[in-house]
Structure 1
Amino acid sequence: MPEGHSVHRIARQFERNFVGKPMLASSPQGRFAEGAAVLNGREAVSVQAVGKQMFLEAEGDVWLRVHLGLYGAWDFAGEIVVDPTIASANGRMGQTNQRGTALEAPILDTAGENSLSSIGAPRRTRVHVRMSEQTKGLSPDDSEWPPPIVGQVRLRLMTDITAADLRGPTACVLQTPEEMLASVAKLGPDPLVGDATENEERFVRAVKKRQTAIALLLMDQAVVSGIGNVYRAEMLFRQQLNPHTPGRDVPEDIVRELWLDWVRLLAVGVETGQMMTMDGLSGDAYRAAMANRDDRHWVYHRAGLPCRVCGSEIALEEIGARKLYWCPRCQA
């Protein structure tokens, strides 16, 4: 499932390429035909991400709410305006390291996690990218315009130069301003939305009053927004916390450290496009980690392999219908 960093990156793509422009909207699949008809011809006014959901405002007090769920993704085509400080000459988002120093040569994730043209659930995208002049040294190609429809596209949004195709979302609905605010109110705090101090206190209160296992609370979007299976496992390991500990039994200082860690990890994810959860890497180790997720996580996807710290076998179990990876010794 796309986690919070991906949705924030999607929102930034819409901010750069759609906000302030009239949109053509259609539903090639047909399942969102009525909603697309409402959006068609309206100007995009604003966009924001909260956790795993994106809210796109169109003129006339109409909001589009999209939750990608397990399989959803946005594919972008045409002229895509990207931040020139992180643009790379191969059509992918570049990245900086965790110390903020730009890398000389961008490192691409083998699974396409930091792809510019497709953000969301992993898939092989067939859309074409015609980079903006803001990405120095690139020139437009001769891709077909508008791009051909590929697969089951729930919603296509287009300006005169950019297209965004939505496939496989859990939710794609239109809302009034009141409905949009009600949707946001149901979500837990997001480090990139609202007041930092208030967000931390909301998280601490929500965790400390519950008997539910902390592993389940971190995945509860009413407790905290944006954390999915990868970040959940990694954050628990980074705090050496047993995933079965009831929330109210987790020491308050550890709860606060969990929140601050989420603040840090989300910022890295938005900046790089990758869920980098190992600190202190440099040189070949850092490049390997940026290229392959199996080299940038402590426990996620490492069932049966030795713990990177103690050598014990990483355990895999199911909790809340999702896989949980953890070290029974480090997190005893």
Structure 2
Amino acid sequence: MPEGHTLYALARDLHAAFAGTRPVVTSPQGRFAEGAAQVTGTELLGATSRGKHLLLEFAADRFVHVHLGLIGTFTVDEGDWTGEVPVVGQVRMRLATAEHVADLRGPIVCAVLTPDEVAAVLDRLGPDPLRAGSDPAADPDRAWRRISRSSRTVGELLMDQAVLAGIGNVYRSEVLFRHRLSPATEGRRLRPQSWRLVWDDLVRLMPLGVATGRIVTVEEQVADVEAALGRGERPRLTERTSYVYKRDGQECVRCGSRVRTKVVAGRNLFWCGNCQRRR
């Protein structure tokens, strides 16, 4: 499932392509035909994301709410689209102007909402690290209040979008390893300082995912990407590396022990039992 940095970058690209335009909105597949008819030809005011949720705001108090789920994709293509554009695959929703076409395929949610319904969706979400410093709702103490009262493990809690928005399996596994935290620690036994280390690291790492289109967690690559951005250059990564994610059975890069895996909150969690003893 795409993590929060992917939705953030997608919202950025959709906003750049369509904000201020009146796109033709259709549903070639047919499953969003009624919703498309409500917004087609209406000015698209902007696109934003919160965690794994995407919101397209149209005039007349209408929002299109999208959640990609496990297999959803949303592509934005630039070009001369004055002619008829072929439909490839099961396109749930298409946005089209003379300069851009965006096709949404396979989402678990694609619906037109009112402002009150949007507020209800956002109220169910925890703080989003990508919005730290720009959104009052991105308050780590909101997440801490839930974590510190919970008997669930931190491995479970980091995947709960009501606790923390936008975090998926890769960031969960990697950030716990980066701070040597045991994923089996109950939230109520986690120290506040440990939680702030996790939050601050996510605030640091996730914008690098937006900038590169890749999840970057290995410190050497993190430093290289930060340096490139500091020089005003576009970071380039030749391969994706990780500390523990999808490295089950391999040697830990720190201690040589075997990386372990276990299904936690519906996804395979990866960790080093030797390095990650901090509770």
The residue matched to 1:172 in structure 2 has which SS? strand
| Correspondence for 2:232 | none
- TM-score, normalised with respect to structure 1: 0.76
Distance of 2:239 and 2:96 partners within structure 1: 33
Check whether the contact 2:22–2:41 (CA below 8 A) recurs between aligned residues.
yes
Out of 263, 287, 299, the residue aligned to residue 244 of structure 2 is 299
Distance apart, 1:174 and its partner CA: 0.7
Query: How far is 1:145 from its partner?
Result: 4.4
Is residue 174–residue 243 contact of structure 2 (8 Å, CA) maintained in 1?
yes
5 Å-filtered alignment, 1:1-332, equals: 1-79=1-79, 145-193=83-131, 194-195=134-135, 199-281=139-221, 290-293=237-240, 296-332=241-277
Q: Answer yes or no: is the 8 Å Cα contact 1:77–1:147 preserved in 2.
A: no
In structure 2, relative to structure 1, the CA distance for the partners of 1:240 and 1:197 (3 Å cut) is farther
**Contact 1:203 1:259 (8 Å CA) reproduced:** no
3-state SS of 1:291 partner? coil
Greater per-residue helix proportion = 2
Contact 2:14 2:76 in 1 (8 A): no
AA in 1 matched with 2:3:
E
**SS of 1:192 mapped into structure 2:** helix
Q: Which residue of 1 aligns with 2:230?
A: none
Per-residue CA deviation, residues 34-53 of structure 1 (Å, 9 max, x unaligned), is 00111111110122100000
Q: For the Cα contact (< 8 Å) 2:46–2:57, is it kept in 1?
A: yes
1:221 Cα offset (Å): 0.2
Cα–Cα, structure 1 residues 244 and 165, in superposed 2: closer, same or farther, change >3 Å?
Answer: same
Q: Identical aligned pairs, as a percentage?
A: 42
Greater RCO between the two (CA within 8 Å, min separation 6)?
Answer: 1
- Give the CA deviation at 1:26: 0.7
Structure 2 CA distance for partners of 1:148 and 1:297, relative to 1, 3 Å:
same
Over residues 151-191 of structure 1, what are the superposed CA-to-partner deviations in whole Å (9 max), with x where a residue is unaligned? 11110011221000001111111100110111111100012
**Which ranges in structure 1 are unaligned for 5 or more consecutive residues?**
80-129, 131-142
1:291 positional shift: 2.3
Deviation track 1:303-329 (CA, whole Å, cap 9, x = no partner) reads 111001001111111112211111111
How far apart are the structure 1 equivalents of 2:137 and 2:94?
38
RMSD: 2.0
CA displacement at 1:147 relative to structure 2: 3.1
Report the Cα offset of residue 67 of structure 1.
Answer: 0.5
* Structure 2: distance between partners of 1:310 and 1:148: 53
Name the TM-score, length of structure 2 as normaliser: 0.90
Alpha-carbon shift at residue 196 of structure 1 (Å): 6.1
